[in-house]
Amino acid sequence: MSLSISQIRANTLRARHLYQRTRRQGFAVGAFNIDNQETLIAVVQAAQKLNSPVLVEVSDGEVKAMGLENIRDLVDNYKEEYGVEMYINLDHSPTVDDCKRAIDAGYEYIHIDISQANHDASTEEIIEKTKEVVEYAKFTGALVESEPHYFGGSSNVHTEGIDFEEIKKTFSTPESIKSFVDATGIDTFAAAIGNLHGKYPVPKVLDLELLQKLRDASDVQISLHGGSGTPLHYFEEAAKIGVSKININSDMRYVFRKTLEKVLAENPNEYAVVKLMPTVYGEVQKVVEEKIQAFGSAGKAVV
């Protein structure tokens, strides 16, 4: 069921208040990707258990798989049933039109990522299209996130190591955060400080000194993408420095698949797979709970 414009605006106002709380209270909110209902159950149960606010986020592929309005309805239904503080983030949306549709559907957080579709998109094109989304979002109050260049990696499990010297070439700078925010009017800047999409055989290393410089350069909200496979102490420090949102995907996908493979192998004669799924989303829930604890958002929900 579609939300009214007054309901959407009330939700986005609460979403803005959440980001304000992250800064005042020194915690980050987790943004957890879903591509099925079981993963949503894992997220909402973790949120309820730890009394934590959460963002459910969906990429372009996940929207195509589940449906833009279906996701809105699912999140609203579970939010009401479990009594949790939960919002939707459109993650790495590659086009302005897709962002506008999500804004119309009442998504509280919108990430416009023009470089997702075109890795070689010019700074001018990225700024122009990001500004268009920022302007459109004013009608509902949705918060808009973006970045000035392509963010590396992919939300999967990788076998190769991380070329840290190559990754450093794409790091954000104090100059870039200030100029991009000034040019676009975004609410949230997706920072690159060593975070990288995907899960790798080696731990990620975040440049916290650079993060502090970014924080000092602009009062905009800061997000960290590619949180999977990152030692938890980096999250604890990032939240204290002033990161408002941290994205998690591959860690959840990995546990989901490995647990599903295990329960299928252990139950070769069970064809009602739904009976096996509580074990699967129970393990995913443990991942979400671990991140919530590291982000410092446990006990921070306002319902």
DSSP 89-119: EEEEE--HHHHHHHHHTT-SEEEE-HHHH-T
State the pLDDT at residue 154.
72
Contacts of 268 (CB under 8 A, 6+ apart): none
Average pLDDT of the chain to the nearest whole number: 95
Query: Predicted confidence band at 185 (pLDDT cuts at 50, 70, 90)?
Result: very high
One-letter amino acid identity for 171?
Answer: F
User: pLDDT at position 1, please?
Assistant: 66
* CA–CA separation, 95 and 262 (whole Å): 38
Report the pLDDT averaged over residues 177-203: 93
Is the CB of residue 55 less than 8 Å from the CB of residue 23?
no
Q: pTM to 2 decimals?
A: 0.95
d(CA 119, CA 243): 25
Q: What's the whole-number mean pLDDT along residues 202-214?
A: 94
- Whole-angstrom Cα distance, residue 296 to residue 293? 5
Going by C-alpha positions, the residue among 123, 137, 229 that lies closest to residue 176 is 123
Active-site choice (35, 60, 76, 91): 91
Q: Is 91 a catalytic site residue?
A: yes
Q: Give the pLDDT of residue 301.
A: 98
Q: Is 83 within 8 Å of 302 (Cβ atoms)?
A: no
Other CB atoms within a 10 A radius of the CB of residue 5 amount to 12
Q: The domain 5-295 is classified under which CATH number: 3.20.20.70, 3.40.1400.10, 3.30.470.20, 3.40.710.10?
A: 3.20.20.70
Over residues 12-32, the pLDDT tens digits come to: 999 999 999 999 999 999 999
What are 239-254's pLDDT values in tens digits? 999 999 999 999 999 9
CB distance 226 to 247 below 8 Å = yes
Give the whole-angstrom CA distance, residue 187 versus residue 184: 9
Reported as a single tens digit per residue, the pLDDT across 134-182 is 999 999 999 999 999 877 667 777 878 877 888 888 899 999 999 999 9
Rounded percentage of the chain residues whose pLDDT exceeds 70: 99
- Adjacent-strand bridge partners of 58: 90
